[in-house]
Each structure stands twice: as C-alpha cells, then as structure tokens.
Structure 1
Amino acid sequence: MRTKKTGTPPQHVQRGLGISAGAGAFAYRRPGPLSTSSGPVVVAAVFCLVFLVMGAAFSFSTFAAELRQELDAGSGSISFIFGCAMALLYAGGLFSGALADRIGTHRVAGAGVLLAGGSLVAAGAVGTIWQADVALGLGFGLGLAVCYTPAVAAVQPWFDRNRGVASGIALSGTGLGTLLMPLLARWLIDSEGWRAALTIIGLTVAGFGFVASNWIRRPPGLPTTSSSPWSPGSLRKLAREPSFRRLYVAGFLSSLVLLVPIVHMLPHAVRAGVAARDAAWLISILGFGSLAGRLMFGHAADRLGRQRTLGALHVALGLLFLTWTVKVGFITLALFAFAYGVCYGATIALRPAVIADHFSGPNLAAVTGLHYTSSVLGPLVGPAAFGYSVDFWNSDLIASCAAAVCLVAAGYFFAAKPPQLRLRRVGICQPQRRGQKMRGFSGFRPLVVPAA
C-alpha cells in the first residue's frame, strides 16, 4: 500500500526496506503488502521483451540447417552456438542483475536488447563458423544475459499476494514466443532467405524490445544500492543462508535435465517409430503446454504456496520422465510433450517468485542473477550426457531413470523450507542498557490464577 499524496511507501515499509542494505539485503524477511497500478504495465513490458528475445533464441533450430549448409559446419559446431548462448544467459545474469540494482532496470534491459538485436543483424552477414560463434554464441548470448535477469526480477517487487500470477503472465511471453517466432522465422526464410530473416528479426527485437524495456522499472519507493553487493563478506553471508544453498542445489539439479526433452524429442520420437514430419509437431505441442503452464499454475501457487508447488512440479516432471520410456506411438508422445510443457513452463515462471519470497530487497536482481548461475553447466552437460548414455546403452531407460532422480531431488530441495531468520528492526531491537526496562513491559504484573 502506498500513500495517495506522495506515492511513497508508508513509514513502516521504509524501515523494512532500509534494513535490507548491504549484506542484510540477502536475509529472509516476510514481504509486506505491496501492489500498485503500475505493476500490470511492468508485467506487460516484460511479457513483450521475453517474447522477442527468448522467441528469437528458441528459433535457432529453424536456422540450423541453413547455417550448417552455408557455413559447411557439422551438427556439433552448430549446436555449440546455442549451448554457448544459453550458458551465457544464466552466467551473465549475476553481473547484469547487480548492475540493474545500481543504475536502473530499464537502462540495463534496454542495452541488453539492443545488443541481442544487433547480434542477430550481424549474424545475417557471417561467412564462417567462427563469425557465427562470435555473433550468435557470444554477442546474442551476452545480450540475453544483460536483459533477461533484470527484466524477470523487476516483476516481483510490484506484487505480494499475486506474485505467482504476475510472474506467470510475464514469463508466458517465452512460451508464446516459442510458438510464434519459429513460424515467423520459417516464413521469412522461405520468402526472403535466412540472412534477410536474421536481419529482420534482429531489427524487430532491437526496436520493439528497446521500447518495451523503457517501461520495466522498479517501484518508486524501493531504494537502489549505492555499492556493489558482491563483497567477500556479503558473498560468505549469502552462501551460509540455508535457503539460498538449497535453492542453488535445486537449480543445478533441475538445469541438468529440464532441456533434455527439448533437445532429444525428435530423435526419441523417430526411434519410437514416429515419422519425422509428425515428430516435428511435438516441439510445438511442448511449447503450447509451456504457455498453458505459465498461465495456469500462478493462481494455484499463490494459494497453495509457491515453494511447495515448485517442488511438486519437479516431482511430477520426474515421474513424466519414466513414462517417456514407453514407446507406443505419436499420441502417447504428444500427451507427454503437452504434460511436460505444462510443468516445465510453470517451474520457469515460479522460480523468480520463490527467490523474491526469500530475498526481497534492493539487491533482488543481483540475488536472482547469482541463483541463475546454478544453471550454467546444466544446458551444456545434461543433454549431451543423456545422448551419450543412449548411444552407449542403446536405450534411454537408464538415462531417463537418472533424469527422474535428479528432478525428484530438485523438487525436494525446492520444497524444503529452511528455518526463518530473525531480523533486527530499527527502533525496536536496539541494544538496551543494563537495568533499563523495555517498552511495553513497565507495567508488567504476574498473572494471578483465581482459586477454585
């Protein structure tokens, strides 16, 4: 709640924000009621930004065949470009989040989307594989890293009770982008060629994304940090937080497996006897399920508990991996793709909301970026290890069981609630002199129980 005249938080909210400076910003505290009319505007802006940048990222497979043929490169070299971009997305969020906390989310997100769009335009003129690595793997990956984490973290401070719903709506732009952007890319490639398609998509991402980033801002009463939160002492205090350690381990275990069906869905369906033309629809079905999951589970998570819901969704994903080993045709795989997409999309939407529940404060974007570093190695190691296991054993049963174990373990760490830390509030818990009575206890009298 904010005052009508000034639009600033009430005095008790300001005191709660003031104690979050420095290392105290990493401590757990129960968020107060905070919601303004500008929150929906921020949600809409984040929706548009992630629709553009993440839709362009997941359109990479549409350009893979043209890049492989034009640049005379192998499948491994082309796949490395996408893996590098995804790794940078999670690794760079640590620095972009801290920078957004200091100079403003809209400035950092705007610079990131311009870099991402410019890299796509530059990729339309590449002539060798190393140029594609620089333009798409390095440039576009850095652009994603700079704009994604600050934008996602900007939604959470505007909401409290409906934080899961707001996060789900904002991040559903990724699901819609996964559905529509590959279709747009395919149409542009067929009509204009792959180089012109990359140029057009890059200009669209840079232009519309920069406009959307101007509306991604923090609440007016939330202070910005004047110094970097990444001092050695602050990092040690954050690493000792049980909640952060559990969330970090859960994020690492989850990242090892979450992208495996997206990468291996088509070859898995072909091994099951599905025609390659029909198998291509499974990715679209998974994307549709991802969009539905981000929209469906937000309200339920706000009522049932965001942390418990996130853990239960990972357990459900683990059970779905066991059903993936049943190869009975296209219908079964389509049902798996939709169900997996629903749970996958909901987990992506709830993770930043859960982080905000534990670490609300002026350094929220920096903490979110640090948490996302747990997912750096997963996209590089998990899908490759799954593929090598399938080739070695000539079966996906062992790899699927191992993936199910990872997801169930991630669900346990996500759902486990650490002990709540106490905070010292200014003016309430100040050290008292010896012999001085505390406020509220000056008139204390022992309780007298009446005789029967």
Structure 2
Amino acid sequence: MTFNEHNAEDSCLKNQHEKQAIPKTNPDVPRGDAVPAPDDAGLETGCVAHPGEASTDDSEPDLEFPEGGLQAWLVVFGSFCGMFSIYGLINTSAVFESYFSENQLRDYSSSQIGWIFSLYLFLVFLVGIQVGPVFDKYGPRLIVASGGILIAASLFILSVCEEFYQILLSYSVVGGLGGALLNSPCYASIAHWFDKKRGLATGVAMTAGSIGGIIFPIFLQKLLPSVGFAWTTRILGFIILGLTVPATLFMRSRLPRSNKVSSVWPDLSIFKDLKFTFSACGIFFMEWGLFVPLTYIVSYAGRHSGDANSS
C-alpha cells in the first residue's frame, strides 16, 4: 500500500480517536519526569512514529515502448488511412474553391468563399484540443469511427448543396468536426507505441497527406466533367468511409487509460517553457503561408493559364 492510497496521518488520528493510547511508565523514573518515547511508540495506535522519515516511492517507472513490431506498424497504417482522409481533403480544397467560384458561388468573392475553408481548418485544429482528454479516457476506436462518418456525411450533404450557408454548414462545420475527431487520435495512437522512433513513425503516417493531395485532385479532375459534382463528392465520401474502416480497426491505444475525463481546456502553464512558446509561435505564422496557397493555387493558375481543369 502506498501513501497515495493510505494517509498515515489520517489513520493515526482515527485510531487515536477510537483508542486512547496509554503511555508506558518506567518505575525507576519519577512521575514528574518525562519519559522519552521510543521509535516504535506509535505502533500500538497503528501510526508511524516519524512519518517524515517513511520511505515512499512516488516516482513512476519508466514506460517501455515496443518501438516496432506488427501491431505497432498496423497502428501506423491505421493512422496513415486517417491522415489520408483528413489531409488529402485539406490539400484538395483548392479544387473545391475553384469549382465553387465558377458554379454554385459564382456571385461571391474569393474572400467570401475563403471563409468555407478557413472555418473548416479552424474547427479541425481547435476542437482537436478537446478531443485529447476523450482519447485518454475511451481510446481511439469510437472517436475515429465517428470522425470518419462525419467527414463522409459532410460530403454526401455537400453533393446537394447550392447555397453558401448550406456549403458552410455541411463542408465546414460537419466536415470540420469530423476532421477534428479523426485528426488527434492519428498522432496520439502512434505516441503510445513509439518513443525513440516516434518521429519516423509519425513521418511515415503523414506521407498520407501528400499522397492524398495528389490522388484526390486528379480523382476530382477526372470525375467532375463525366459524372458531375454531386456524384463526384458522393464517391469521395464512400472512399472516406472505406479508409475509416482500417483506421478504426488498427488504431488503438496501449498505455493505461484515465479513470475520468480530464479538463478539456489546455493547460496554459506550458507556455512558461520559452522554447515551446517560440516553437508554437513559429508554427502559427508558418500556417499562414501554408494553407492560403493550398486554397487559392488552382484558381490563381487557372486565371493565368486560361484552363482551370489542367491547373
């Protein structure tokens, strides 16, 4: 039994309340003189005589990570499938922006259309903060399945949308929430299986975003002229559902789960670490130069080349 589970001082007070300890007397010593208490004097009451000297070992043992093996790399594959859905769709936003600006939202400016993709990214990364404690409590399976279903549902709804607010609600809100649920477990699951090789494993999984960013735009470019926008987005939704299956099956946690859901609000004390603070600020400004071209590059190239399809 450790002192975290059993408070020696509380037990001592309780036992003293139930049973009054009778001090031992030495007949050779006068009654008026105090008798020094031996080290084990408190044992009669169930207390530790010197609780400050009691040996406690509150340090947690070092966690061991598999650093490989079939199960660990299956987790990486599951994360790969999840990231393929999330970042493949993010890297395809320029194709959607170009299509919206020429069809459903042709009466809207580029800055107005940009709100669709800005809100999507905002929800993906902001809500991901709250997903972490839920992952610690319940593991990834339910979260990943819910996220994949929401992303697919957003594409199914998008296929029949004609108005700006409809596209904003379906693609940005529903899809953004689904992306948040799917994104965080992709990283957290890998961290349960890799420590020294975590960078390598995460990098392998993140290549899915680049591959998806190549495949999805080509896919849309080929299908949009032949089957139309509605069925193109529906087929894309079915692909997302297909990728959700291995992501749900293979992504899993390994470390002990929390007994309760901790606070969903971030611990701002982490910003006391200046290295972390400067890194976070650097990444914040880097994102400004990353997602803006991803959203507008197709429209920009189409205006200058005169051929939006080849762009």
TM over 0.5, yes or no?
yes
| CA RMSD in angstroms, aligned pairs only | 3.0
Q: Which amino acid aligns with 1:96?
A: V
**Matched position secondary structure for 1:194:** helix
Q: Which amino acid aligns with 2:200?
A: V
Match of 2:36 in 1: none
**Matched position secondary structure for 2:200:** helix
1:128 equivalenced with 2:173 (yes/no) = no
**Matched position secondary structure for 1:179:** helix
Match of 2:175 in 1: 140
**Matched position secondary structure for 1:92:** helix
Post-superposition offset of 1:261: 4.2
Post-superposition offset of 1:276: 5.3
Partners of 1:266 and 1:197 lie apart in 2 by 18
How has the CA–CA distance of structure 1 residues 52 and 127 changed in structure 2, closer, same or farther, with 3 Å as cutoff? same
Match of 1:40 in 2: 73
Match of 2:61 in 1: 16
Match of 2:100 in 1: 67
Structure 2: gaps (5+ residues): 1-58
1:227 equivalenced with 2:227 (yes/no) = no
Q: Deviations over 1:67-101 (max 9, x none)?
A: 33234442233221111111111111101122111
Post-superposition offset of 1:199: 1.2
Q: Which amino acid aligns with 2:195?
A: D
Match of 2:213 in 1: 178
Q: Deviations over 1:359-414 (max 9, x none)?
A: xxxxxxxxxxxxxxxxxxxxxxxxxxxxxxxxxxxxxxxxxxxxxxxxxxxxxxxx
Partners of 1:62 and 1:278 lie apart in 2 by 9
Post-superposition offset of 1:34: 3.6
Partners of 1:278 and 1:186 lie apart in 2 by 10
Post-superposition offset of 1:213: 1.9
Q: Deviations over 1:150-206 (max 9, x none)?
A: 212211221123222211110100000000011111222111100111111112212
Q: Percentage identity across aligned positions? A: 22
Match of 2:40 in 1: none
Matches within 5 A, 1:282-431: none
Partners of 1:257 and 1:60 lie apart in 2 by 15
How has the CA–CA distance of structure 1 residues 255 and 200 changed in structure 2, closer, same or farther, with 3 Å as cutoff? same
2:284 pairs with one of 252, 261, 264: 252
Match of 1:406 in 2: none
**Matched position secondary structure for 2:258:** coil
Q: Is the 8 A contact 1:102 1:227 kept in 2?
A: yes
Partners of 1:189 and 1:249 lie apart in 2 by 39
**Matched position secondary structure for 1:113:** helix
The structure with the largest helix share of the pair is: 1
Matches within 5 A, 1:154-165: 154-165=189-200
Partners of 2:117 and 2:264 lie apart in 1 by 32
Structure with larger Rg: 2
Q: Is the 8 A contact 1:100 1:107 kept in 2?
A: no
Partners of 2:301 and 2:123 lie apart in 1 by 30
**Matched position secondary structure for 1:158:** coil
Partners of 1:38 and 1:270 lie apart in 2 by 45
How has the CA–CA distance of structure 1 residues 71 and 58 changed in structure 2, closer, same or farther, with 3 Å as cutoff? same
Q: Which amino acid aligns with 2:100?
A: L
Q: Is the 8 A contact 1:56 1:201 kept in 2?
A: no
Matches within 5 A, 1:85-234: 85-219=120-254, 222-230=255-263
TM-score by length of 2: 0.71
Aligned residues: 251
Q: Which amino acid aligns with 2:119?
A: C
Q: Is the 8 A contact 1:46 1:213 kept in 2?
A: no
Q: Is the 8 A contact 2:154 2:175 kept in 1?
A: yes
Match of 1:57 in 2: 90
Partners of 2:230 and 2:243 lie apart in 1 by 20
**Matched position secondary structure for 2:70:** coil
**Matched position secondary structure for 1:70:** coil
Q: Deviations over 1:121-154 (max 9, x none)?
A: 0111112111111001111111111111121221
Structure 1: gaps (5+ residues): 1-13, 18-30, 282-452
Match of 2:33 in 1: none
How has the CA–CA distance of structure 1 residues 185 and 136 changed in structure 2, closer, same or farther, with 3 Å as cutoff? same
